[in-house]
Amino acid sequence: MEQPVCLIANTADGGLEVTEEALEALRGMDQPPVVVVAIAGLYRTGKSYLMNKLAGKRTGFSLGSTIQSHTKGIWMWCLPHPRRAGHTLVLLDTEGLGDVEKGDAKNDTWIFALAVLLSSTLVYNSRGTIDQQAMDQLHYVTELTERIKVKVAGGGGRQEGADSAEFVRFFPAFVWAVRDFMLQLELDGREITEDEYLESALKLKPGSSEQTKLYNLPRECIRRFFPARKCFVFVPPTSRRKMSRLEELQEDELEPEFREQVARFCRHVWEMSQPKTIPGGHVVTGAMLGNLAVTYVDAIRSGAVPCVEIAVLALAQIENSAAVGEAVAVYKEQLGQRAALPTETVQELLELHAQCEREALRAFMARAFKDDDCRFQGELMRHLEEQKQELCRRNELASSERCTAALQELWDELDDRIVLGVYSVPGGYQCFLDDRQRMVERYRQVPAKGVKADEVLQEFLQSKEVAAQNILQMDEALTEKEKEMAAERAWAKAAERERQVLQQKEAELQQKLKDQERSYQENQQQLKEKLEDERKKLLEEKHKMLDQKLKELENLKKEGLQAKATRMEAEIQRLQQQNKELQNPPWIESALGSLGEAACLVLPGIFGKLFRRWS
Ligand SMILES: Nc1nc2c(ncn2[C@@H]2O[C@H](COP(=O)(O)OP(=O)(O)OP(=O)(O)O)[C@@H](O)[C@H]2O)c(=O)[nH]1
Ligand SMILES: [Mg+2]
């Protein structure tokens, strides 16, 4: 992307909408994972300027040099990630908050909530120092509990606290950028780091007066929702005189300390920002990011609160459907690479199918998620079964054509001799039988005839039986009785050949049914692996949450905030209980059951077996 584009625009009626241009750009990015860095903060505080630094460009996001707020809505710039090969860095520059001229606090809150929902790293930008005023300006954080829902409310309605406890599962890492910072980083005579500076500003006050509650609220929210925090301070980039044409200045015209601070900040963001994931750990691509934005903005427009669970389910529908398509494409591509039809045996063909199916399933598993009832995997099964039928048909056709051509060529010689009357002599029938036998032997030598070799031969000989009988009847060396016996022998031989062909067909049918069982097992195996993988990821996620909460508990105790510590302990206990349940979660068994049901519908070969197992 050469230039940033508007991702979310303000509409004339005061709402928000995702722009078609940005969606178009994102739709084209359905492969690489995205690392999404968003910046938010008060208007006119140098956000767009800092984002251009992250892009490694002097210009890009538009600045404006007056006191009037400049960036409107949310702008997006997608770039190859400077540190992570195969990843895209998506920068989101947002409309400045708190513009008195605009005076639409509601719009501000949504912009902030969207920045949180869409990013994997959120840079909060402010000017001066992290003082009470800066904290007050960050009231958007305290409002997130009313702006973001994690789960669709169940029967009795979930407690708000329980819902926001889950925020950490998908909230971005938090970086506070303090601009025009001109103080010494010192506390009680001791030099401190920027991070210590932030932590000291986030310290809570003991007590339960209204004033204390008000003081603590934004700090508590930041500590609860953003356990991974960093702070960077920046001196003014240049003298006041040059500030308005900052964009035009060369690097060496900037304050050296500022340059060094920017370099450190960029390095941190580039190296530490993780790819965007949704709860459950599934990595988001550009196309998915676009769909997420649409779901959230649609919710806001309809007057609802964006719900992460609903968005993830909507995303799963789109992605899983695409995963089926991608898997079928992988199957075809693999087949194209491997198949040389006709194969010698049906077994060989089934093995070929099995290999391609395995790769196709892998592609499906890599992309699909939350296919709890195996609806999409079942659909893929049906597609692949159809592909297999088609493959068998093509294989048989290729074989038939080759066999028929070979037989026709070999028969031509015999036909010439029939026309010349070579067999129309006494003893001609035996002579014909010998020649025909030689022809059959030569046919057997023809390589790569495929699965239809015997059947086509049987049908071919059958079609020439009238000619053979004519030669027999005209053979004057044979008595009527001998002719009768010879005809009977010919008939018995044909019947024997037919029986063999039928036997072969029956054996092939059994092989095909057995292959359906194998296919089901492959599906089961890969699903099991995926579910186990997901369980581990979930467990990891929960462990991370637990670690963060334990750390916060320790801090609360250190700060002597006993009541808060007790509440945190209860939260920790709840989480520990959830972790225990994750040892053997019921959804694995239920998903495998759904797979069985889906398989019965498309793979008749396994129906009987499963039915017996269930009854
Ligand atoms: N004092 C100071 N000015 C800056 C800094 N960075 C950028 N500016 C200048 O501040 C003005 C606003 O910069 P922007 O980057 O557009 O600020 P913004 O936060 O994106 O503004 P909005 O989009 O309106 O919210 C421009 O004239 C910049 O040159 C900084 O670190 N300190
Ligand atoms: Mg801006």
Question: Is any ligand 1 atom within 6 A of the Cβ of residue 46?
Answer: yes
With beta carbons less than 8 A apart as the criterion, state whether 144 and 124 touch: no
Closest protein CA for atom 6 of ligand 1: 46
- Return the closest-CA partner of residue 448 out of 498, 410, 398, 408: 398
> Which residues place a Cβ less than 5 A from the ion ligand 2?
47-48, 70-71
Residue keyed to tokens 């990630």: 81
Query: What pLDDT band is residue 14 in, cutting at 50, 70 and 90?
Result: confident
**127 C-alpha to ligand 2 centroid (Å):** 14
Q: Residue 560 region, left (φ>0) first, then alpha (ψ -120 to 50), else beta?
A: left
**95 C-alpha to ligand 2 centroid (Å):** 6
The whole-number average pLDDT for the span 283-292 is 96
Q: What is the pLDDT of residues 208-249, one digit of tens each?
A: 899 999 999 999 999 999 999 999 999 999 999 998 889 899
Is residue 157 scored above 50 in pLDDT? no
With beta carbons less than 8 A apart as the criterion, state whether 534 and 280 touch: yes
* Nearest ligand atom owner, CA of 68: 1
**260 C-alpha to ligand 2 centroid (Å):** 22
Question: Is any ligand 1 atom within 6 A of the Cβ of residue 179?
Answer: yes
Specify the DSSP element, H or E, that contains 187.
Answer: strand 186-187
Amino acid symbol at 61: F
Atom index in ligand 1 nearest the CA of residue 247 equals 29
Residue keyed to tokens 């889950």: 166
Question: Is any ligand 1 atom within 6 A of the Cβ of residue 65?
Answer: yes
Question: Is any ligand 1 atom within 6 A of the Cβ of residue 244?
Answer: yes
**48 C-alpha to ligand 1 centroid (Å):** 7
**46 C-alpha to ligand 1 centroid (Å):** 3
Q: What are the residues whose beta carbons fall under 8 Å from the beta carbon of 367, sequence distance 6 or more?
A: 319, 320, 322, 323, 326
The pLDDT assigned to 613 comes to 61
**54 C-alpha to ligand 2 centroid (Å):** 14
Is residue 22 scored above 60 in pLDDT? yes
**244 C-alpha to ligand 2 centroid (Å):** 14
Q: What is the pLDDT of residues 435-452, one digit of tens each?
A: 999 999 999 999 999 999
Is residue 155 scored above 50 in pLDDT? no
Q: What is the DSSP letter of 167?
A: G
The pLDDT assigned to 156 comes to 46
Mean pLDDT of the chain: 93
The whole-number average pLDDT for the span 23-31 is 91
SS3 585: coil
* Nearest ligand atom owner, CA of 45: 1
Atom index in ligand 1 nearest the CA of residue 93 equals 20
User: In the β-sheet with 229-233, what is the strand arrangement from edge to edge?
Assistant: 16-18, 5-10, 74-80, 88-94, 34-41, 121-127, 173-179, 229-233
Q: What is the pTM of this model?
A: 0.88
Closest protein CA for atom 2 of ligand 1: 236
SS3 377: helix
Atom index in ligand 1 nearest the CA of residue 125 equals 19
For the beta carbon of residue 36, count every other beta carbon within 10 angstroms. Answer: 27
Atom index in ligand 1 nearest the CA of residue 240 equals 1
d(CA 19, CA 566): 47
Question: Is any ligand 1 atom within 6 A of the Cβ of residue 49?
Answer: yes
The percent of residues in the chain predicted with pLDDT above 90, rounded, is 85
d(CA 167, CA 174): 13
Chain centroid to Cα 311, Å, comes to 15
Question: Is any ligand 1 atom within 6 A of the Cβ of residue 96?
Answer: yes
Atom index in ligand 1 nearest the CA of residue 243 equals 29
For 290-315, b/e burial (b = at least 16 CB within 10 A) is: bbbbbbbbbbbeeeeebbbbbbbebb
Specify the DSSP element, H or E, that contains 35.
Answer: strand 34-41
Q: What is the pLDDT of residues 480-535, one digit of tens each?
A: 999 999 999 999 999 999 999 999 999 999 999 999 999 999 999 999 999 999 99
Question: Is any ligand 1 atom within 6 A of the Cβ of residue 43?
Answer: yes
The pLDDT assigned to 333 comes to 97
Residue keyed to tokens 């169940």: 154
Question: Is any ligand 1 atom within 6 A of the Cβ of residue 47?
Answer: yes
Closest protein CA for atom 26 of ligand 1: 65
The whole-number average pLDDT for the span 566-591 is 92
With beta carbons less than 8 A apart as the criterion, state whether 255 and 179 touch: no
Q: What is the pLDDT of residues 188-215, one digit of tens each?
A: 999 999 999 999 999 999 988 999 999 9
The whole-number average pLDDT for the span 90-102 is 93
The pLDDT assigned to 208 comes to 87
- Which mutation among 246, 261, 262 tests ligand 1's pocket best, with the greatest number of atoms within 8 A of CB? 246
Q: What are the residues whose beta carbons fall under 8 Å from the beta carbon of 601, sequence distance 6 or more?
A: 378, 382
d(CA 35, CA 37): 7
- Please return the burial class of 2, using the count of CB atoms within 10 Å of its CB with bins 0-12, 13-18 and 19+: exposed
**22 C-alpha to ligand 1 centroid (Å):** 24
Q: What is the pLDDT of residues 335-349, one digit of tens each?
A: 999 888 999 999 999
Closest protein CA for atom 32 of ligand 1: 236
Is residue 362 scored above 60 in pLDDT? yes
d(CA 497, CA 455): 8
**148 C-alpha to ligand 2 centroid (Å):** 24
Query: What pLDDT band is residue 1 in, cutting at 50, 70 and 90?
Result: confident
Least confident residue range of 2-11, 158-167, 391-400, 491-500: 158-167
- Which mutation among 45, 233, 262 tests ligand 1's pocket best, with the greatest number of atoms within 8 A of CB? 45
SS3 420: coil
**63 C-alpha to ligand 1 centroid (Å):** 6
- Return the closest-CA partner of residue 165 out of 578, 462, 442: 578
**121 C-alpha to ligand 1 centroid (Å):** 20
Q: What is the pLDDT of residues 135-149, one digit of tens each?
A: 999 999 999 999 999
Atom index in ligand 1 nearest the CA of residue 42 equals 25
The whole-number average pLDDT for the span 71-80 is 96
Closest protein CA for atom 29 of ligand 1: 246
**187 C-alpha to ligand 2 centroid (Å):** 33
Tokens at 92, concatenated:
């989101």
The whole-number average pLDDT for the span 447-460 is 96
With beta carbons less than 8 A apart as the criterion, state whether 450 and 342 touch: yes
d(CA 417, CA 471): 12
Closest protein CA for atom 23 of ligand 1: 71
Report DSSP letters for 514-574, one per residue.
HHHHHHHHHHHHHHHHHHHHHHHHHHHHHHHHHHHHHHHHHHHHHTT-HHHHHHHHHHHHH
**47 C-alpha to ligand 2 centroid (Å):** 5
d(CA 386, CA 29): 30
Q: What are the residues whose beta carbons fall under 8 Å from the beta carbon of 369, sequence distance 6 or more?
A: 280, 282, 316, 319, 320, 534
